[in-house]
Structure 1
């Protein structure tokens, strides 16, 4: 030690007190802010499956590797940060004593080898990510850059610090080799080459260690002051967000929509109390704490944005910008909410009031003005000139097709679709603010049981066009006892001319294969998928319970494993298979491509002529991403002799047709 190293060490320790204080303070503010959200009791257990999935996603980088060019580089940076913190904090010792290091471990060859890999891997990884960010820079046309709208200041800051840290690990080690020798070609294979370029200098090593320490301290200080910088904080919050993801089996939050919840309970038509329950999300505080954790964890990487069909067709919706807007609004409003502030639906203060109903002006004045202004801001609405803009524009909210591309691609398991549906629920059930076309949809579903408002008896018309008998429950058969499948035709399959071709073809193939099936005919009602995805939760429940009552009467006395339904519509497939169990309907549901493919493999269906043509296949979102049915349709086409030519976007990255999320019933006016 000398006077310079002691001075540098003392300065480092002194400044780190402010840095650690800033970081801990920021973490506590974030924790308290996330706690504003409503209860989510279903997110804690089971512990071991959730913990296991968190570790798998962390170590194997299963989500990040969906973008392979980024996955390996991010893995290097992640490991460099996770383990490199231990190496970085060694600078506390090295600044005072350049020859020193952590007691015990600094003498181990394994420690030096890991240190070598961490420094080199961090530099290579972060350099690759910097290049990728520049290649995708927003100076490109706005909708071609997945980073469009992201906080570049935060990103550049984090990337710079990580690069300096990686270089610091290399240079301190190389400086020590140049000054003190003792290089091991097995553990110091790279730094010993760098050391040849450096002079032997105790002061140089101390200065390098000081720079390494200060870069970490600057990071802690700045990040602690900016708790909405998800690009920095996700390295802590992502672990929790993955653990608390909706599905405890590790799958993403697709398939069934999240049930509508209030104060931790699932709302049904029987237990809802309109006076006390929150229907959907009309204010930022209506989201659960998991929702707030989602907003906090967003890294602004833009993978969701790059895959979003709405964004790619000129609509105002970017899943990334939507989550960022909710985050920024939530944290800006948090001081008001943490002070106890609340407003009723009319905008009157109900939180900071005394026993006589008078507003506590002193308490209100103590809240920062920015937070009070943010409290007056609508969560969803139309942008009106001269008024404060809503957090989420109505056009943005209703542009979503629920395709799930954002959820599928998100590396930190944010549940975009569930949050969008919750906001729609409030708009429909409380505000009665929704696209005018949906009014007709809701009316037809409620009164006629189908979106077009057709007569139920017309569901049987397609059967009259067949040249063989198709049994109808309650008309040709009173029991399911002698049948294998109930063929769920669906509204489009019964009424829409193009879909009826599929219905008739499937019925003919099933009959050819000797499969005994029946249909419900006029007793079939819409599954309610469009109602639920549009936010009309109670209409969905009404339709679902009506169908479940009918299905249970069909399957009365039939053992569970034989209650089989085959469907052609991807939305019916998802609703019957994933959402009906929530309201008491548990059946085995298969898509017609799965059943037909099985029949081909069993030689019960044999192609009579080869289709020697090139064919492409579009993966429906609610069959593919939501239910992971990718192989059966392709195998079925191969069996026909056709050659499958994949589109650029297929499988889990398939481009949405635009009809999901009740968009089927709305006009395309934008983009």
Structure 2
């Protein structure tokens, strides 16, 4: 046994050195970029929340379990890693004790002979074996060779995935081999409970005592050796997420990487645009060296599972953006330039020209790491972030690259340039006069107060109308419906009228942070001077910006979406839907209301209270809802590649055979309305089909109108 112990400990020493070298290399690579102190500060300040998140997301596998078969399989395989650590304690104990006493009958002190532990070890190992079978079936059924880009594994490093499954299998069968032999030689610590090991012992028993005495140390060395080889493979593969996933979850943005975008930072500090210098300060991400350690942690943590890809509206409409490949392409490039990136400054100066060219390779460009069509296909819908089981923040990567392209390279779709000029000159994306913002009020039969100076004390809410709600004809119907409903319910509200400007959401999501900053500070000054405390908004983009992003600039208000307020008024009896609407309605979840802010129930509650309404969910709804195509400033960019996203969404809506499609966002209203019009023109949709806001349905029932308010 002494010889066996020497071999085992020598293998361990070699593996530890190899793993340590790789871990130090990964750390050195991740820290070449700018710091991200805000991540550490948040984690420290919200320690209790972070502990809960670890329990729910990492140990509880909340996101993975949403995909039931693969989620359950992963749950058992993951817990096998934790529980079977006790088997390795026993294995090393047997190795050392066998060398000292000649008898490898080691057991863990206190709990080492408890049959429950033996049962638990065998149970989780068998469950993990079943999990491997499930993974194998899933990978075979979803093979890219068979499904092409419809496979969520398309683009993943498939060989590495199969190798990992094979190594886990090796860990499990070698465990049963040495435990079964140990039972037959009398060196097993458990008198019962370890049912699978006992079954293995029964198979090995006919081989005789001598063979089992040989199989025990051989199996022991195999089990330890496989684990050590696996450890080396892990730190060189996608399975690195075993170690980095808890860290990535701990330092991710709460609650789930959605909501407010991170502020622009340079050298770890929030960028002050009044003092910023493009020559010395960092404006977004131009090369891989501009990536923070949190960005590298995202690279290391990607499991290549493709859940993000399978839910991405761009990928599903044949566009080049795959959130998974966006991360993997950056990771592969980072690994390729790592020897140069981690070199000392004086060493870099001596590098050959081809190495320097690779090091300075732009992240975005025709010959860059990421093609521009990939970058500008993103709608910021958040489906990728919502589905990622390890909290990778794909949108943050995209926005960082967009910021550099827009503010430093001035490289972005030309149509978006028109939108930016309109925002800068007129305060709205269409370039219309600010005086038109209050024209919708003239179409009502009651007075709507327009703020002039301080808000009157009896005004409860400022109604943030938004650019679309004030200027776009279809969205104005929602604005008037909400105003009427608030008036009927006796809610005192006022509007800013011409003093209201775009919240800056389109500029920020495009990457023009400077213009966003200017618009946001202007609006915050207006709101603060008026003494505004509570805001109701009909546009989810305005709602998200006012509620989540303005606090970064000191604008803190109580903000609700109109569906939240209307649902509350209906619940309190201040609004009573009485007239039946005998229609089948399917509801489309706006991304910035649903995934970004978790408002799913209130719009549905409103429709449920309207007599006669029959609701039918689309197969992709709520947190898995499909985008309309307007987010991420895509509302103002042409969609030239693949199928139009709004057409895909309307095709899904048509499968429910609805009389009407409802939503709660002016952008969705426009995008879905355009797609429905095209379907009508081609005879694919009935002429009576239209898209309306939930508020329009409610006012129709409350007032007893035959048609929605127009």
- Report the TM-score when normalising by structure 2: 0.84
Partner of 2:230: 219
The 3 A distance-change label for structure 1 pair 478 and 259 is closer
- 1:669 is aligned, of 627, 640, 648, to 640
Partner of 1:269: 273
- How far 1:94 sits from its partner (Å)? 4.8
Partner of 1:573: 543
- How far 1:185 sits from its partner (Å)? 7.7
Matched, 1:53 2:84: no
- How far 1:92 sits from its partner (Å)? 4.2
**Pairwise mapping of residues 130-529 of structure 1 onto structure 2 (< 5 A)?**
130-180=136-186, 186-199=192-205, 200=208, 201-224=212-235, 226=236, 229-230=237-238, 232-247=239-254, 251-341=255-345, 360-361=349-350, 364=351, 372-382=356-366, 389-474=367-452, 479-529=455-505
- How far 1:371 sits from its partner (Å)? 5.1
CA distance in 2, matches of 1:151, 1:334: 20
Deviation per CA, 1:365-392, whole angstroms, max 9, x where unpaired? 6xxx98545214221012xxxxxx3100
Matched, 1:31 2:31: no
Deviation per CA, 1:24-56, whole angstroms, max 9, x where unpaired? 111111111111121111111224432342233
Unaligned runs of 5+ residues in structure 1 are 342-350, 354-359, 383-388
| Higher mean C-alpha deviation, range 53-62 or range 183-192 | 183-192
- How far 1:433 sits from its partner (Å)? 0.7
- 1:644 is aligned, of 587, 610, 615, to 615
The 3 A distance-change label for structure 1 pair 52 and 598 is closer
The 3 A distance-change label for structure 1 pair 376 and 278 is closer
Matched, 1:621 2:591: yes
| Contact 1:185–1:192 (CA under 8 A) maintained in structure 2 | no
- How far 1:552 sits from its partner (Å)? 1.2
- How far 1:513 sits from its partner (Å)? 1.1
| Contact 1:335–1:371 (CA under 8 A) maintained in structure 2 | no
| Contact 1:127–1:163 (CA under 8 A) maintained in structure 2 | no
Secondary structure at 1:590 match in 2 = strand
Partner of 1:346: none
Secondary structure at 1:190 match in 2 = helix
RMSD: 2.1
Partner of 2:573: 603
Partner of 2:559: 589
The 3 A distance-change label for structure 1 pair 501 and 418 is same
| Higher mean C-alpha deviation, range 179-188 or range 293-302 | 179-188
**Pairwise mapping of residues 12-23 of structure 1 onto structure 2 (< 5 A)?**
12-23=8-19
Relative contact order, CA 8 A, sep 6+: which one is greater?
1
Matched, 1:653 2:624: yes
Matched, 1:543 2:523: no
| Contact 2:308–2:387 (CA under 8 A) maintained in structure 1 | yes
Unaligned runs of 5+ residues in structure 2 are 643-710
| Contact 2:105–2:187 (CA under 8 A) maintained in structure 1 | no
- Report the TM-score when normalising by structure 1: 0.89
Partner of 1:87: 87
Partner of 2:677: none
CA distance in 1, matches of 2:103, 2:289: 51
Secondary structure at 2:597 match in 1 = coil
CA distance in 1, matches of 2:172, 2:473: 63
| Higher mean C-alpha deviation, range 205-214 or range 495-504 | 205-214
Secondary structure at 2:84 match in 1 = helix
The 3 A distance-change label for structure 1 pair 513 and 126 is same
- How far 1:523 sits from its partner (Å)? 1.1
Matched, 1:40 2:36: yes
CA distance in 2, matches of 1:40, 1:611: 53
| Higher mean C-alpha deviation, range 285-294 or range 106-115 | 106-115
